[in-house]
A and B are shown apart, each in its own frame.
Chain A
Amino acid sequence: MAHLSPDTFVDLLEGTLEESAVPHLAQCEACRDELSGLRRTWQEAMNTDVPEPSPLFWDHLSARVHEAVAAEPEPRRPWWNAAWAVRWFGLAAAAVAAIALVAFLNRPAFVDQRTAQVGGEAQGTPAASGQRLEVLPPLAEDESVGLLADLASDLDWDAVVEVGLVRPGGADRAVAELSADERVELQRLLTEAGVM
């Protein structure tokens, strides 16, 4: 006959399980005795207080802790949580955004490498319409992208979210505002960066 499990004993002791819901108890004297002994032991343990120390002890303890803490360096908020960090992040984000905007506005016209290879034969492409086209250098050689990457490399995403520099859905909205060509270029850049 299988006896009650520790789990069942604890549930019975704590009253989360009624004895009537455990038919085994009525049939097994060993389990009844065990339950009864555990119950008495627990009751005894519950009734045992910690001796109250001298009233002077509490101030003594506080003084000891105070001394020990005084020898410690002051705890500080994590740097990304400090007020100065929020302001700094704001300025840094504004600078990054400004650089990105300038780089974007001054960028040369671009075409997809594959489009360039066909020599603008495809109808409707900028090359076909006679625009002067320039193939962008690889991502790793682009100074503006490198600058942005350097500035962003130290930013922890959770910290950036925490200080409110980005908002949920912000990336989706930004992508939605891109033109078709810009989306193609974004896709190329992401592929090149190994994100896609």
Chain B
Amino acid sequence: MATSFALTCDGPSGADWNVTVVRQDAPADGPAPVLESLSEAELVAACLEGRPGAFDLIVQRHRRQVYQICYRFMNSHEDASDLSQDVFLRAYRGLKNFKGNAALGTWLHRIAVNTCLNRVAVKAPKSEPIDDADFVDAKGESASEQLLRDERAGRVRAAVAQLPPKQRAALIMRTYEDRSHQEIAQALGTSVGAAKANVFHALQNLKKILGNI
């Protein structure tokens, strides 16, 4: 049981004050709430308090989103997997700086974009064969339809991965993450006008790379 004291002052002023001290016993050491029931802010607080499993749950909730951003940047499962791990590691290290002003997902998204931008600055993305054994058919299409669709999608993903980093980031955030131009500008450290121009040039370059579609 945790004990606290409440102080109450009554009376007009000075020496006439009546001071009442009340001891309050609160069951602060009761059973901690189940992690799954915690909000994102509470989950972050639980991580900072060192509760086991709290950060694992954050990873579990956001791993798909983070992986997909990384995949779109790198067009490679292997790179996306490595980058996703980096993103979460950076997030863990920076968790104490998470202010809670934005949603945790938005914060992680920004870390992911920055991590990807840093990575593409030092490493050209490699394309991955579209029939990679790691991937599964989730759509229930016929084999030929699936093949055609995958081939088309593979061309687009490879084309996106060839774009200059900022154009790529702007296009990915606008097209797949539905981020506003303002958010893109903040993430890239540019003006809103420059963010829009990046989206435009990304589409223009994508059109050139893909040819007539």
* Contact of A72 with B92 at beta-carbon distance under 8 Å, contacts A9-B200, A10-B200, A41-B210 already known: yes
B207 & A41 in contact (Cβ 8 Å cutoff)? yes
Residues of A within 8 A of B130 (CB): 51
Residues of B within 8 A of A62 (CB): 56, 59-60, 63
9 interchain residue pairs of minimum CB distance:
A6-B200, A51-B135, A41-B207, A48-B156, A75-B95, A48-B153, A65-B88, A50-B68, A50-B71
Residues of A within 8 A of B156 (CB): 44-45, 48
B88 & A57 in contact (Cβ 8 Å cutoff)? no
Interface size in chain A (residues, C-beta < 8 A):
37
* Contact of A51 with B132 at beta-carbon distance under 8 Å, contacts A38-B203, A61-B67, A69-B88 already known: yes
Chain A binder among B5-13, B18-26, B47-55, B101-109: B47-55
Residues of A within 8 A of B153 (CB): 47-49, 51
Q: B110 in the interface, Cβ–Cβ < 8 Å?
A: no
Residues of A within 8 A of B132 (CB): 51
A58 & B77 in contact (Cβ 8 Å cutoff)? no
* Contact of A69 with B55 at beta-carbon distance under 8 Å, contacts A42-B175, A50-B71, A53-B135 already known: yes
**Chain A nearest CB: distance from B67 CB in Å?**
7
Residues of A within 8 A of B89 (CB): 65, 68-69, 72
Q: A132 in the interface, Cβ–Cβ < 8 Å?
A: no
Per-residue CB contact flags for chain A residues 49-85 toward chain B (1 = under 8 Å, else 0) read 1111111011001101110110010111110000000
B136 & A76 in contact (Cβ 8 Å cutoff)? no
B197 & A75 in contact (Cβ 8 Å cutoff)? no
Q: How far is the CA of A45 from the CA of B181 in the complex (A)?
A: 18
B203 & A75 in contact (Cβ 8 Å cutoff)? no
Q: How far is the CA of A6 from the CA of B210 in the complex (A)?
A: 20
Q: Closest A residue to B71 by CB, please name it.
A: A50
**Chain A nearest CB: distance from B113 CB in Å?**
15
Residues of A within 8 A of B50 (CB): 74
Which listed residue, B63, B96, B160, B196, touches A45 by the CB 8 Å rule?
B160
* Contact of A54 with B136 at beta-carbon distance under 8 Å, contacts A61-B67, A61-B85, A62-B63 already known: yes
Residues of A within 8 A of B176 (CB): 46
Q: Closest B residue to A57 by CB, please name it.
A: B134
Q: Closest B residue to A4 by CB, please name it.
A: B200
* Contact of A44 with B136 at beta-carbon distance under 8 Å, contacts A65-B88, A75-B48 already known: no
**Chain A nearest CB: distance from B180 CB in Å?**
10
Q: Closest A residue to B66 by CB, please name it.
A: A61
Q: How far is the CA of A62 from the CA of B85 in the complex (A)?
A: 8
Per-residue CB contact flags for chain A residues 1-22 toward chain B (1 = under 8 Å, else 0) read 0000011011001000000000
